[in-house]
Chain A
């Protein structure tokens, strides 16, 4: 049976992980490679690296980092952040990333989704969508959630699929950071509306929250950052719990 995936997300700035980490047995918590290897060891199913370095001159650092990650880890990984063109995508894919994630650039230039899909295959293109509930409507936001767009979530999700997205990473901004649980109802809607995998993101605080989103929506994966980095929920423990709850887990 196809398993639900558990995906830790690592924020990278200038080649270092930025959020605090709390693994006692890691010598250098700022070293993305050491952290990534730890997650592989803990049976994470996939990893996402989000580069929050805004400047162009740091892009080379990212390619170098991706090359090192690809040498070291033996599970799939996605790289996102600041990918604005086919050329940007090519740099990280050539360096060894399995997938690229695009967000604001996809909204600004939707044909970028098709360009990357045609060049590298749909399975390489993750469209990340930041969404916030406003006046009873889930609206799409860009620029790190700062700028509203005219897109409504379901419309943009189906358009991204039509253009060739291979997967959607949907972050519910109202929930992000709250640890009050995933925004299950709209994740259920969006995962029904498309026929590509949806990764749920934003709001995970307890192991029960993962069970809840997997039981009540068709999402294929759930992503979280700080609860994993700070060791609040160790991944092996989370996976063991989900197995006892009859969720298909590796």
Chain B
């Protein structure tokens, strides 16, 4: 069973719809046992970092997420919360990736909204079949600094981590569930890990 972590952050239905379009079923849950026993866990998110972290802590889900051994996919705010620290609300995050999350300097339109290009940095099953220069859909005002864990970067105002992996933890800053065929391929890659 695939578990979608429900923590009062937006867009969870979009992710569920996308998984179902690919022929998989999933449960939306905040139940620790259900999350621990899932074959895959998706940690989506649209919202604000500090309130999302407070909610996760209040539900005890911060420790649950950090202890997971099965493949986990963080999406958008999910990716940022898997990092060390976010400038959004000066928030200590889950610390899976030793990476800082910063606010885009206002040198161009913020949020970074729309289709932008992936530059591949490493090989990972998550990005199987994805080509250099494929476009995916982003909406965010904060970014993850590029690091050794960046599978792909994207350039907007400055280069940032667009897809990341450390061990069983995978993450995308873009929304695969809203990125047409390319996004479907990435989600399918994750679901078939």
Contact = CB atoms under 8 A, between A and B. Distances in A.
Nearest to B10: A120
A167 B113 contact: yes
Interface string B33-53: 000000000000011100000
Contacts, number: 81
A98 B178 contact: yes
Interface string B3-18: 0000000110110011
Contacts of A220: 109, 113-114
Per DSSP, chain A at the interface is loop
A69 to B, nearest CB: 10
Nearest to A70: B17
Interface residues of A, number: 31
B181 to A, nearest CB: 8
A123 B111 contact: yes
A238 interface: no
A5 B111 contact: no
B100 to A, nearest CB: 22
A195 B110 contact: yes
B158 interface: no
B contact patch SS: mixed
Contacts of B11: 98
Contact of A45 (B47, B115, B117): B115
Interface string B118-159: 000000000000000001010100000000000000011000
A207 interface: no
B14 to A, nearest CB: 6
B111 A45 contact: no
B150 to A, nearest CB: 18
Nearest to B136: A250
A197 B113 contact: yes
B1 interface: no
Query: B13, B112, B184: which has the most chain A beta carbons within 10 Å?
Result: B13
A93 B184 CA distance: 22
A121 B47 contact: yes
A2 B139 CA distance: 11
Given A5-B114, A5-B115, A124-B10, 12 more contacts: A1-B116, A2-B114, A3-B116, A71-B17, A72-B21, A74-B179, A74-B183, A98-B11, A121-B10, A196-B109, A197-B113, A197-B114
13 contacts: A1-B155, A2-B116, A3-B114, A5-B114, A75-B178, A98-B11, A123-B113, A167-B113, A195-B109, A196-B109, A197-B109, A197-B114, A218-B109
Q: 5 closest pairs, A vs B, by CB?
A: A3-B115, A250-B135, A250-B115, A123-B139, A2-B116
Interface of B: 10-11, 13-14, 17-18, 20-21, 46-48, 106, 109-117, 135, 137, 139, 155-156, 175, 177-181, 183-184
